Structure 1
Amino acid sequence: MNNKTAIVTGASAGIGKATAIYLHKQGYKVFAGARRIDHMQDLVQQGIEAHALDVTSPESNQAFVDFVLANSNSIDVIVNSAGFSMQGALEDVAPKDAKSQFDVNVFGLMNITQLVLPTMRAQHSGKIVNISSIGGQMYSPLAGWHYASKHALEAVSDTLRMEVKRFGIDVIIIEPSGTKTEWAGIAMKTLLEQTPKDSAYRDIVEAYADGSFDGFSDTPEQIGELIYKAINAPKPKTRYQPSFSAKMMVIAARKLSYKAFDRRLFKQFRAMISK
């Protein structure tokens, strides 16, 4: 046991669950939060503290942080893994679904972060890890609202890093590309269901759903290990991409002209539709 305490949100599946398990194995006292408490019973059996958490509810966030502080003397790490995505053409995604992505990915994330900051400032140390996406630095069709929320998350993360650095707190952004989780299948099922049959974008939606998630290489366990390395680095980097392909996509998005990047994406989507 290393006597350090870590909070992990979105811990009922995917990156959040894998990270909670990995940090626990490394000796952290882990408090795992998620809406689906029944999906965290395996974490409880391993000795991880599990608690119901809906990051879009300020009351739920407060109750969770109060629970952590009642059972631990510190909050050394928070991994903000809770996330929501509604894929689809911007014209087709309902306003309420667009808003929900910001409620979870930005406002909810920042609310629980606000609640742990006084403890981190008092102890003059802490690591805030925000799970973003390569979409936080790029764009592509059919993911506009999701990417917009991740762009916003990266903006607030960069600002927060500047504000809290003098208190000994690091803010770290993790930018996966494709990860082998249940999210991919759920996202594609929802994409097909919420796109009208007569949508002007139905052809690219069907092509995207059929082939866009082939060949994902990153696993949640690999990302959990990366997060552990980041929070234990003497001087953690601002951003981490888990794979070579993710690094290349970010470099392309940042180095190519907008026109050149557009052409690259158009080429990929034309290839999908022609299959």
Structure 2
Amino acid sequence: MERTVLITGCASGVGRATAHAYLSEGWTVYATARNAEDIDDLASAGAQTRELDVTRPAQCRDVVEEVVDTEGRLDVLANTAGYAQFGPLEDVPTRELHRQFDVNVYGPHRLIRAALPHMREAEDGTIITVSSVAGRLATPGLGAYAGSKFAVEAMSDALRGEVAQFGVDVVVVEPGPVEREAAVGMRKTSQRADSSGAYDTLYDLYEDYATASVGSVSAADVADVILEAGVSTDPEPRYAVGPVAEYGLLGRFVPDRWRDAAFSFLQRLP
């Protein structure tokens, strides 16, 4: 029996790569993006494409209902839509913090609430949400983004315990920086921050890091892990992707004062 996956954020990057990964395995793929024209090539590749802005509750409900009504099932929900708001917290306007959470936290929550009744009834299904190494280790300059991903991690942990009794699996995928996306996204969001001028060293540090793309993984690497989680009958609760994620997560076990000292030292480097 052909299985069905609904993927958000397919206009580029991880979402697009995830759609291709599931198509290659013969799944029925519903690929979504805010502008359906941005995913016309996925339609040509065999995906069902739909317009979906994860900040619009009615669209989230309607797309899930359409998938279930048409296919009779929804096996995997892959929440890949999201972005990173860069900037020291003093420089990030509250409206941008709200937007960060609206896309990265409330968006997945809207889709999860729409999908779960059908998965519970079927006593089967997998919910996969793309988090980040920043979802378990916060660094200066990424407080807004890390806050949204910490929220995703906490919600997923709670949800996993709530729905295990219904045969539903809950997974978070934690990549490090993704090639090209990190540099482009960081420049775009940092330009929107209302810079106070007090954190120029921090902006410069992240610009240099993003340009160097140290330890980056490809969107295809992340998509392969999302596929692995979706096809597994017993997926892991978490999957770290790439060296930055794998080694960075170890930083959680370093005493807070030591981490703070390391970040302070990095900001003082010429």
Question: CA 1:259 to 1:239, structure 2 compared with 1: closer, same or farther past 3 Å?
Answer: same
Structure 2's unaligned 5+ residue stretches are: none
Residues 99-145 of structure 1, C-alpha deviations (whole Å, 9 max, x = no match): 11111111121011110101101110001001000111011111101
| The 10-residue stretch of structure 1 (139-148 or 183-192) with the greater mean CA deviation from structure 2 | 183-192
Instruction: Give the aligned residue type for 1:67.
Output: E
Secondary structure of 2:172's aligned partner: strand
Structure 1: state its 5+ residue gaps.
Answer: none
State the percentage of identical aligned residues: 32
Q: Deviations over 1:164-184 (max 9, x none)?
A: 001000000100111114353
2:226 aligns with 227
1:143-197 CA deviation, whole Å, 9 max, x = no partner? Answer: 101101111111110000000001000000100111114353132133145343x
Task: State TM-score, norm by structure 2.
Answer: 0.95
Classify 1:152/1:185 alpha carbon distance in 2 versus 1 (closer, same or farther; 3 Å): same
**Counterpart in the other structure of 2:243:** 244
Q: 1:244 to 1:186 in 2, by over 3 A?
A: closer
Q: Secondary structure at the match of 2:5?
A: strand
Alpha-carbon separation, structure 1, partners of 2:11 and 2:210: 25
Letter matched to residue 72 of structure 1: E
Deviations 1:193-214 (A, max 9, x none): 5343x52112321332233352
Question: Which piece of structure 1 moves more, 242-251 or 96-105?
Answer: 242-251
Other structure's SS at 2:175 match: coil
* Aligned match of 1:262: 260
Residues 134 and 149, structure 2, Cα contact 8 Å, conserved in 1: yes
The aligned runs of 1:1-275 (5 Å cut-off) are: 3-182=2-181, 184-196=183-195, 199-214=197-212, 215-253=214-252, 255-271=253-269, 274=270
- Residues 177 and 244, structure 2, Cα contact 8 Å, conserved in 1: no
**Worse-superposed segment, 243-252 or 94-103:** 243-252
C-alpha RMSD of matched pairs (Å)? 1.5
Deviation for aligned residue 1:85: 2.3
Q: How many residues align?
A: 269
Indicate conservation of the 8 Å contact 1:192/1:205, yes or no.
no
2:33–2:52: 8 Å Cα contact kept in structure 1? yes
CA distance in 2, matches of 1:243, 1:85: 18
Instruction: Give the TM-score normalised by structure 1.
Output: 0.93
CA distance in 1: counterparts of 2:211 and 2:128, whole angstroms? 25
Counterparts of 2:91 and 2:190, CA distance in 1: 10
| Alpha-carbon separation, structure 2, partners of 1:231 and 1:37 | 24
Matching residue's letter, 2:50: H
Q: 2 CA distance for matches of 1:216 and 1:51?
A: 33
Q: Structure 2 counterpart of 1:229, which letter?
A: E
